[in-house]
Amino acid sequence: MEDLLKARDSVNQWMERFGVRFGVYKNGVFNEQLFPFDAIPRQIPADEWAMLEKGLIQRVKALNMFLYDIYHDKKIVADGVVPKEFTYESKGYMPECEGITPTHNIYAHIAGIDLVQAKDGRWLILEDNLRIPSGASYPMIARKVTRKAAPQTFRDNLIADNRNYGDMLREMMDYINDGRGINVILTPGRYNSAFFEHSYLAEQTGATLAFPGDMVVENGIVYYVGLYNQKERVGAIYRRVSDEYLDPLAFEPSSLLGVPNLMEAYRAGNVGVINALGNGVADDKGIYYFVPKMVKYYLNEEPILHNAPTYLPFFKEDFDYIINNVSKLVIKDVAEAGGYGVMFGRDMTPERLEEVKQLIIKEPRRWIAQEVVDFIDLDIIDETGKPSPRKCDLRAFVISGKETKVWKSGLTRFSRNPNSFVVNSSQGGGFKDTWVME
Amino acid sequence: MILSANTCNRLFWLGRYAERGYLFLHLMRKAYDEVLDVPVGETPVYSDFLKKLDVYIEGSLDTSYQIMDQLYNPETVTSLRSIIEYMMDNAIVLRTEIRTESFSYIEMCRDLIRVKSIQKDSNITNLQPITDALLAFWGSIQERVYGRARTFLMLGKMIEHIDMNIRFDYKHYRIEEAMGVLEKFIEDEPALVDKVIIAKLRAMVVDKEAYEKYDPEYKDKMLNYLNCLVVV
Amino acid sequence: MIYRYSYTTESSFSPEVTWHFFKLRAIPCTNEFQKVTDDCLEIRPSCLVSRATDGLGNAVQWGTISQGHSSFTVTSEGTVNQLLPYAIHESPEPYYIAPTRLTAWNDEMSAAALNKKKDGSVFDSARNIMRMVNKHMTYTPCLTTTETSAIEVYEDPRGVCQDYAHLMIALCRAAGIYARYVNGIIAGTGQTHAWVEVSDGNVWLAFDPTHNTMPEWGYVKIAHGRDANDCPTNRGRFYSWTTERQTVMCQLSPNIIY
């Protein structure tokens, strides 16, 4: 792996050349930044991957069944496995999706499941992202570049190829499209933080990159409008616009990012939307607690992958535990994402701890508490050129089309500072390639 | 692949800016060379260069300031820096049409001009990599971009080429040649240009005598026609 | 009772618009207490109008006008037969108890609502809340907007029927009572009207906080939702810059022909 480590500057230059960036707004000003790449890969041995793969497929299958159930039969709530407070009263639940059956009953076509590996070697699920998980393009293009820059490394190691992500997406999009028209990736525009990814995935899948205003709905059919008003039917939309902005006539009226009346075309079954609308009900921090129960309920199987130990103040027993142990727990706001609303008890003053307790007492449904997991650090090469340990997570990408498959790679993110536990890219930090060994 | 009107427009402008960037450097180098034969203190060469780009300087000309301004100032719309930033603004949304490979040459131009802007490098030969990258960009387009996307890029390139040739008083046969290439090119898709305007422009190009007076009014009229030729 | 209803909206645009997308809830609903016996929906300029049911169970009419136009008119007319007093026997969906942006409440509102809650029937509590809202508020047109929330209305108690309804819904939900927003047509106002439905778990009954009554007849319902945002009668969107002027006219009259 020596040549790879030596080539790390040239790898970063290549990525710059390919425009591998993400946008950030700082004080209202848009800026593009490189997403720093660290050359030391995360390596996952074949047997460990086989277990992860099975567990991830199981989890995503259960989540898809849950979403179907929530918007149709509602059995899991009627059977008392998941309370209505965490489903029908959740912010992520969308009554507008009631009774809609997405093409082939799939909701979470692209699931980004965040995991960490504990010091004892166990993999734990941190979070499910079922709306618009991003990040796959980075390891994909990093691999392209590193293979070029350090050929010997790739000759010496048996690493599963991860450059097939575009093909996996395309295959899934074609399945959802059902031959109805063209595939489209809908981006909010070039000032979106993940615009590089939108344009790169469009190139890699052969889909048309659509901007707001490029599509219209007429007689229930979605069209992409070309030059001189020539129209082409759209069969599947991989949208990178969130639910509430997707159709100004159904949701947020001020949205300029959506396609007016898309919801009606979708309800009529004339277009596939990837991911489905309404998935938020299955991926907030509150419902996370119940996912292992879903696996048992829908698949009648024991969950292969486990959650980080989690407590819900909503339940009396957990509530008492949390109040007595706040100082050693992590408290998370159910409604927040991207590393925001996360509080570590051990970093708090006694006054702050008391405040947090009061917050929990006041709104038990709003918070979850987790044990601090001591997870494995991975080395990065820091600014001084020396190895330095960092907290890392892994976002695995699970694609559900005709079959449910796990992409043999993933996005390994690391924290910017050695002491930080937050690895979200919007909070600084960088990424590594993830090698699945064969 | 279906392209929206907006995409076609951006392809057209990417083509124009890429050609403008290339010719700007080419003409700047020429001006650099001509300056060598002019006595120190007299610099009509630069003011002439700037005038042709529609930059009019009031008062006396501070040559070295003007050169830096025209190369690197992002606030100066005619500067090389601006041309490259505009080129990037268009290219960034066209990755699917031009592919990552072609895109990377535009990205290289921008990275280099930003570095040089910070260094305030006045040695124009150090900008040769931009010329190289722009030629590589067009090569990459020839290699992998087909159909309408290529049509609009090339259309932009050709129109910018004629535009700059007129501005810089190229010989009549050069304009006529370039115009011939453009007309041949649009034979397949005549709807892309305004029929009336192209006829008027052709009439002006054909009139060798009128053109060779290099009269600013005549030139402006030609440039006006040229700039409303394409219907997007 | 048989009623003739009419709902008209007229919009004019300057400059004219192309690619106009619209979604309407302009036809009264049919349920156990009312039945639309005859409806006629006319849209100018004419275009294909599709009909569907939204996720909350409301009938929607939607379409696209692609050619340029400077006015847009919706005329919906017909007859409704109200067979029974206003009541809908359905168990309420759980989301009608959760706050939305427009129906969220603060601590003060929650205390006030719980104070009005009675031990007896849910409807007695709701009636108390309605009375409180009606007393608290002063009817003031043209002050609030469609985006004004219940909390804002509670603090500055002036507004129109939509604001009365949002405030009552917020207070009911704060007291643990299912409540939803309804729009429809009543006689004599000329505009669409908004009121509230409250459920005890078995049946939805109507409460009109603007008029402090529990109507049984003469309230022709069009649509319902968690708040006004869920069920606008008319929402449109165009792909061009324009200025829009809109007027709405409604009428409801007992039908004398029958």
Cβ A97 vs Cβ C55: under 8 Å: yes
Residues 3-22 of C with CB under 8 A from A: 19, 21-22
**CB-side exposure of B151: number of CA atoms within 13 Å?**
20
Q: Mind listing the pLDDT tens digit for each residue in A297-321?
A: 999 999 999 999 999 999 999 999 9
Chain A positions in Cβ-Cβ contact with residue B100 (cut-off 8 Å): 18-19, 200, 203
Q: Mind listing the pLDDT tens digit for each residue in C98-125?
A: 999 999 999 999 999 998 887 778 999 9
Q: Are residues C181 and C223 in the same domain?
A: yes
Q: Which of C54, C97, C147, C230 to mutate to test the interface with A (most CBs of A within 10 A)?
A: C54
pLDDT at C87 over 80: yes
Domains recognised in chain A with CATH numbers? 2-302+393-436 (no CATH), 309-371 (3.30.1490.270)
pLDDT at C80 over 60: yes
Tell me which of A51-55, A147-151, B63-67 is least confident: B63-67
Q: Which of C21, C72, C103, C234 to mutate to test the interface with A (most CBs of A within 10 A)?
A: C21
A28, two tokens: 């209202």
Residues 87-146 of B with CB under 8 A from A: 92-93, 95-96, 99-100, 103-104, 107-108, 111
Q: Mind listing the pLDDT tens digit for each residue in B18-51?
A: 999 999 999 999 988 888 887 766 667 778 888 8
Q: Are residues C118 and C184 in the same domain?
A: yes
Say which CATH number the domain at C43 has.
Answer: 2.60.40.2250
pLDDT score recorded for residue A210:
98
pLDDT at A428 over 70: no
B4 interface with A at CB cutoff 8 Å: yes
* Mean predicted confidence (pLDDT) in A257-277: 96
Q: Mind listing the pLDDT tens digit for each residue in A315-374?
A: 999 999 999 999 999 999 887 766 677 889 999 999 999 999 999 998 898 899 999 888
Helices and strands (H and E) in chain C: how many = 4, 15
The partner residue sitting opposite B100, judged by closest CB among A18, A210, A225, is A18
pLDDT score recorded for residue A30:
85
A88 interface with C at CB cutoff 8 Å: yes
A230 interface with B at CB cutoff 8 Å: yes
The partner residue sitting opposite A227, judged by closest CB among B3, B103, B104, is B3
Residues 257-296 of A with CB under 8 A from C: 260-261, 264, 267-268
Chain A positions in Cβ-Cβ contact with residue C48 (cut-off 8 Å): 219
Do C226 and A95 count as a contact with CB atoms less than 8 A apart? Answer: yes
Q: Are residues C196 and C225 in the same domain?
A: yes
* Mean predicted confidence (pLDDT) in A140-166: 95
Whether there are 3 or more C-beta pairs closer than 8 Å between C and B is no
Q: Whose structure tokens read 């044990």?
A: A371
CA distance A174 to A172: 5
Q: Are residues C77 and C168 in the same domain?
A: no
Do C66 and A84 count as a contact with CB atoms less than 8 A apart? Answer: no
Secondary structure element (H or E) that encloses residue B102, with its range? helix B95-119
Do B99 and A199 count as a contact with CB atoms less than 8 A apart? Answer: no
Residues 67-126 of C with CB under 8 A from A: 93-95, 97-98
What is the radius of gyration, based on Cα positions, of chain A?
A: 22
Confidence grade of residue B55 (pLDDT, cut at 50, 70, 90): confident
Confidence grade of residue A51 (pLDDT, cut at 50, 70, 90): very high
Pair type for strands A411-414 and A430-436: antiparallel
The residue extents of the domains of chain B are 5-150, 169-232
The partner residue sitting opposite A88, judged by closest CB among C60, C66, C93, is C93
pLDDT at C78 over 80: yes
Q: Are residues C94 and C199 in the same domain?
A: yes
Do B100 and A203 count as a contact with CB atoms less than 8 A apart? Answer: yes
Which amino acid, C227? D
pLDDT at A107 over 80: yes
B204, two tokens: 């002006």
C58, two tokens: 């409301």
C50 interface with A at CB cutoff 8 Å: yes
Chain C positions in Cβ-Cβ contact with residue A95 (cut-off 8 Å): 55-56, 93, 95, 226, 230
Nearest CA in chain B to A228: B5
Quickly count: other Cβ atoms within 10 Å of residue A151's Cβ.
Answer: 13
pLDDT score recorded for residue A21:
87
Q: Whose structure tokens read 């009005």?
A: C116
Q: Are residues C42 and C144 in the same domain?
A: no
Chain A positions in Cβ-Cβ contact with residue B148 (cut-off 8 Å): 227
CA distance A222 to B116: 47
The partner residue sitting opposite C50, judged by closest CB among A213, A216, A264, is A264
Q: Which chains reach chain A with 3 or more Cβ–Cβ distances below 8 angstroms?
A: B, C
Q: Are residues C237 and C222 in the same domain?
A: no
A233 interface with B at CB cutoff 8 Å: no
Mean pLDDT of chain B: 92
Chain B positions in Cβ-Cβ contact with residue A182 (cut-off 8 Å): 2
pLDDT score recorded for residue C258:
41
CA separation, residue A429 to residues A421, A423, B89 (Å): 11, 6, 27
Q: Are residues C21 and C118 in the same domain?
A: no
Contacts of residue C152, Cβ cutoff 8 Å, sequence gap at least 6: C144
Q: Which chains reach chain B with 3 or more Cβ–Cβ distances below 8 angstroms?
A: A
* Mean predicted confidence (pLDDT) in C151-173: 97
Cβ A213 vs Cβ C239: under 8 Å: yes
Do B1 and A202 count as a contact with CB atoms less than 8 A apart? Answer: no
Q: Are residues C75 and C200 in the same domain?
A: no
A61, two tokens: 């299958």
Residues 195-214 of B with CB under 8 A from A: none
Chain A positions in Cβ-Cβ contact with residue B111 (cut-off 8 Å): 16-17
A104, two tokens: 């082939």
pLDDT at A420 over 70: no
Give me the phi and psi of A55, to 5 degrees please.
Answer: -65, -40
CA distance C96 to C126: 14
Question: C51 lies in which domain range?
Answer: 2-83+233-254
Q: How many domains does chain C have?
A: 2
Q: How far is A210 from chain C (nearest CA, A)?
A: 15
Dihedral (CA of C158, C161, C165, C168) sign: positive
Q: Are residues C190 and C248 in the same domain?
A: no
Tell me A297's DSSP state.
Answer: I
Do B95 and A230 count as a contact with CB atoms less than 8 A apart? Answer: no
The residue length of chain B stands at 232
Q: Tell me how many residue pairs between chain A and chain C have CB atoms under 8 A apart.
A: 70
User: Taking phi first (over 0 means left), then psi (-120 to 50 degrees means alpha), and beta for anything else, what does residue A229 get?
Assistant: left
CA distance B127 to B113: 8
Percent of chain C with pLDDT strictly greater than 70? 98
B85 interface with A at CB cutoff 8 Å: no
Do A88 and C95 count as a contact with CB atoms less than 8 A apart? Answer: yes
Q: Are residues C64 and C113 in the same domain?
A: no
3-state DSSP call for residue A199?
helix
A212 interface with B at CB cutoff 8 Å: no
Do C19 and A216 count as a contact with CB atoms less than 8 A apart? Answer: yes
pLDDT score recorded for residue C28:
96
A182 interface with B at CB cutoff 8 Å: yes
Do C66 and A218 count as a contact with CB atoms less than 8 A apart? Answer: yes
Q: Which chains reach chain C with 3 or more Cβ–Cβ distances below 8 angstroms?
A: A
Q: Mind listing the pLDDT tens digit for each residue in A364-406?
A: 988 999 998 888 899 999 888 899 999 899 999 999 999 999 9
Whether there are 3 or more C-beta pairs closer than 8 Å between A and C is yes
Confidence grade of residue C257 (pLDDT, cut at 50, 70, 90): very low
Pair type for strands C2-17 and C50-53: unpaired
Say which CATH number the domain at C177 has.
Answer: 3.10.620.30
A18 interface with B at CB cutoff 8 Å: yes
Do A17 and B104 count as a contact with CB atoms less than 8 A apart? Answer: yes
The partner residue sitting opposite A216, judged by closest CB among C53, C64, C226, is C64
Give the residue among A276, A259, A72 at the shortest CA–CA distance from C55.
A72
The partner residue sitting opposite B1, judged by closest CB among A17, A208, A228, is A208
pLDDT at B207 over 60: yes
pLDDT score recorded for residue C247:
83
Confidence grade of residue B104 (pLDDT, cut at 50, 70, 90): very high
The partner residue sitting opposite B92, judged by closest CB among A17, A182, A190, is A190
Chain A positions in Cβ-Cβ contact with residue B103 (cut-off 8 Å): 18-19
Give the residue among A376, A384, A375, A382 at the shortest CA–CA distance from A417.
A382
ipTM above 0.85, yes or no: yes
The partner residue sitting opposite A261, judged by closest CB among C21, C56, C226, is C21
* Mean predicted confidence (pLDDT) in B176-196: 93
Chain A positions in Cβ-Cβ contact with residue B1 (cut-off 8 Å): 208
Q: Are residues C147 and C92 in the same domain?
A: yes
Mean pLDDT of chain A: 93
pLDDT at A216 over 90: yes
Do C93 and A218 count as a contact with CB atoms less than 8 A apart? Answer: no
